[in-house]
A and B are shown apart, each in its own frame.
Chain A
Amino acid sequence: MSEKLLMRGNEALGEAALKAGCQLYFAYPITPQSELPEYLSRRMPEIDRVFLQAESEIAAINMVYGAAGAGVRVMTSSSSPGISLKQEGLSYIAGAQLPCVIVNMSRGGPGLGSIQPAQSDYFQATKGGGHGDYHLIVLAPASVQEIVDLTILAFDLADKYRNPVMIMGDGLLGQMMEPVSFPDRSDVVLPEKPWATTGYTGERPKNIIRSLELQPERLEAHNQKLQEKYADMIATQKRSDEYLTDDADIVLIAFGTVARICRSAIDMAREKGIKAGLFRPISLWPFPDESLAKLGDKERTFLTVEMSCGQMIEDVKLALECRRPVHFYGRVGGIVPSPEEVLDKIEQIVAGRCEA
């Protein structure tokens, strides 16, 4: 690990991508992630890597397609409206099995929405977004250090599975400054990519990057192959964190920025004698349902807190299989819930004044 540096989330993400071996970065300006392209536009030429500002979000994701197919580590970033524009490309990238990293520093929607933080892209990120049966791996950091760690992991997972990986942050996380350190990656050997289009020399069959398969049986077989890959991700790539859950009577479920707020609310609740705890999904897809289900083995109440009108709560309920009551508290429109209002909700639930 390097010395500690004080860095903004968006910039730390950019630096982590470079540490992970990201050779090319294509993006289009959008608030609240513009510090990331600004940082990389300065840093990448210094170390002989390629920063290119694309003419559109659509062009950026298709440049990612081309570069990923050429066998190099590549990334793009945006925020909610821009991520919507990238969905076509993401579907093609997933279909063509190309490794890449996409960052969504999400903001309020629908439509142009606002530039303030939100988590209302959860469905889009975890349930598809583009057309066809595919999945992204979706990682949700909750601190600047975790942005660094998960960004590096994202590149490794993308290559391991030949699959797009999304870093799901929000405006707040991208803007906040915290001390971070970067792992030493100098001796890391990146995987070979014999499938990449690098020029047909006759030493291997010609490589074709595509998602078209006109024969139904072949397309079905391709889909089954993708599903096997997703099944392996589900078996091995679920990630979550817990805080004071052992004796908790009420467990909050939250990711990213909201998880931090919930921690504060839990500390305040504990001071009042309420045994509260936190379950924090780190991988939004695959959703860490088994760990959450274990918490549901004990008689306790659950509260999902999101900066949305209630999206992750569906996965929470599926994980708990309706065995326990699941309450919801959400703020939207770019409003970040305060620890006090989360505490208030906890107190109401404990007092039996809320129906799940």
Chain B
Amino acid sequence: MRLVFDRPQSLADVQTHYCPGCTHGIIHRLIAEAIDELDVADRTIGVAPVGCAVLAYNYFNLDFQEAAHGRAPAVATGIKRALPDRVVFTYQGDGDLASIGTAEIIHAANRGEAITVVYVNNTVYGMTGGQMAPTTLPGQKTTTSPYGRDTDLAGYPIRVAEMLSTLVAPQYIARVAVNSAPNIQKAKRAIKKAFEIQVNDNGFALVEVLSTCPTNWGLTPEKSLRWLEENMIPYYPLGDFKVPKEVE
């Protein structure tokens, strides 16, 4: 019998703590596939965030550092500057990256740190029970916006990919979604490209991945995928926001 589909080498053979229907598992797999295909696992160091992915270090067959909340880009900077020939990536949620860690991500991007950032946006603080995030959509109900996000009170959701693409130094910034098979294929290409940029061009790359949180959204996994498509993608359009010059 011929094996046609297998677990990527870089993905650990363990059960994750993620909720049923959560798309973190898909994104982990895409990262592991990219690392395997580029054959850089033995020189890759991951940086885990605080949030649902805090235990990501258990799910990859890679050396890992766990950062304080929001500080992953600074930790990754320290690793990359210490070991410039290694491949360094951060895996961060929207509370981690777009709220408490905004300074760190903006300045890591602005310095053009040669790191890869996988930014998972599911519009809520998942690990702590579904509180409002900077990415929560207008009117969206969460445990700390029980009447729906009031933009007069809490402002508007931050579009990280667009915001960072105004900077000069970053080489590749894209937004993808993992709500359908075609979109997952596109997400895979973007994540792989974000690693290639680091390996080949020594540049900063960030992929924002629109993700689901069935548990905290109070929806089934299937309805969550539809909610993402109908509500998130209109506000957070998919596509490349910054691409290396030679590809333009």
Contact = CB atoms under 8 A, between A and B. Distances in A.
Interface of A: 23-24, 26, 50, 52, 54-56, 58-60, 62-72, 74, 88-89, 92, 96, 197-202, 206-212
A198 B44 CA distance: 8
B104 A211 contact: no
Nearest to A58: B71
A66 B80 CA distance: 8
A67 B82 contact: yes
Given A62-B75, A212-B55, 20 more contacts: A26-B78, A58-B104, A59-B77, A62-B104, A63-B81, A65-B75, A66-B77, A66-B79, A66-B80, A69-B78, A70-B83, A72-B82, A197-B64, A197-B65, A198-B45, A199-B44, A199-B63, A200-B41, A206-B62, A211-B66
Nearest to B106: A55
Given A62-B67, A65-B67, A210-B57, A24 B81 contact: yes
Chain B, interface size: which category?
20 to 34
Most chain A CB neighbours (cut-off 10 Å) among B41, B45, B106: B45
B74 A63 contact: yes
B65 A65 contact: yes
B82 A74 contact: yes
Contacts of A198: 45, 63, 83, 86
Contacts of A207: 63-64
Nearest first, the 10 A-B pairs at minimum CB distance are A66-B78, A62-B74, A210-B66, A55-B107, A67-B78, A66-B75, A63-B78, A197-B63, A70-B82, A62-B71
B66 A201 contact: no
A194 to B, nearest CB: 12
Nearest to B87: A199
A65 B63 contact: no
B42 A201 contact: yes
B76 A59 contact: no
Q: Which of A74, A96, A210 has the most CB of B within 10 A?
A: A210
Nearest to A73: B82
Interface string B154-191: 00000000000000000000000000000000000000
A325 to B, nearest CB: 45
B243 interface: no
Contacts of A92: 68
A207 B106 CA distance: 28
B223 interface: no
Contacts of A64: 78
A23, A63, A202 interface centre (most CB from chain B within 10 Å): A63
A199 B85 CA distance: 10
B26 interface: no
Contacts of A201: 42
21 contacts: A23-B82, A59-B104, A62-B67, A63-B74, A63-B77, A65-B67, A66-B74, A67-B78, A67-B81, A69-B79, A70-B45, A71-B82, A198-B45, A199-B43, A200-B61, A200-B62, A206-B64, A208-B64, A211-B66, A212-B54, A212-B55
Contacts of A60: 74
A197 B66 CA distance: 11
A278 B47 CA distance: 49
B52 interface: no
B219 interface: no
Contacts of B61: 200, 206
B199 interface: no
A344 B135 CA distance: 64
B22 interface: no
B78 A70 contact: yes
A67 B107 contact: no
A64 B64 CA distance: 15
Contacts of B66: 96, 208-212
A26 B75 CA distance: 11
Contacts of A212: 54-55, 66
Contacts of B83: 70, 72, 198-199
